[in-house]
Amino acid sequence: MSYIKLVMFGVSVIILLITGFVIKKNERKNYDERQLTAQNAAYKTSFIVLVSYCWLCGCLNILDIRWAAVEFQMFSGIMVSFTVFICISVIKDAAFTMKEKPIIMILLLYLVSVGCLISFCFYLKGMPLFHNGQISKFTVIAVASICFAVMGTVALVKHLHSKKAGDSE
């Protein structure tokens, strides 16, 4: 069990480092009006997704439907909202430009996804997926793995699409 907590802590540190690196790198850039508009749309959409998710979880809780541990609900909502923001930003080239070494970002997203998946597999060896009829709180590792894989896939598709558009010019 302490191994799982150590891995979760490590993944959190990696996420914070990536976020810090991206923020520091993006401070030097000047965005045009289109990128700022797209970035605002990404913020709004991810906020709506998070609020809607919290509202749904709250309604299920009021109806006494305990479908998952509270920790799972909270962290999976944040991960899904974060994923929506990153995907919209990448698709619209709003905050995370794909022009400078996109392979590093894509590889990093897939590596974190694989790390989370391996961690989740170790978790499955010793603990049940469900506890008292609810999704266990450590299953959030699988949600994180899926979210990072989705972000990596969106970034890869965007990179391939940009590369194809660049070749056709």
pLDDT of the residue at 55: 95
CA distance 20 to 92: 21
Q: For residue 54, is pLDDT > 70? A: yes
User: What distance in Å separates the CA atoms of residue 145 and residue 80, rounded to the nearest whole number?
Assistant: 11
Alpha-carbon gap, residue 45 to 89, rounded angstroms? 11
80 Cα distance to chain centroid: 6
**Better-predicted residue by pLDDT, 70 or 6:** 70
Domains of the chain, residue spans = 2-25+32-168
What are the tens digits of pLDDT across the range 60-73?
989 998 888 888 88
Rounded to an integer, the average pLDDT of 127-155 is: 85
pLDDT of residue 63: 93
pLDDT at res. 62: 92
Mean per-residue pLDDT, 3-22: 73
Give the residue carrying structure tokens 């930003």: 89
pLDDT in tens, 81-124: 999 998 998 888 775 555 567 788 888 889 989 988 888 888 77
**Cβ atoms of 85 and 42 closer than 8 Å:** yes
Q: How far is CA 141 from the centre of its chain?
A: 11
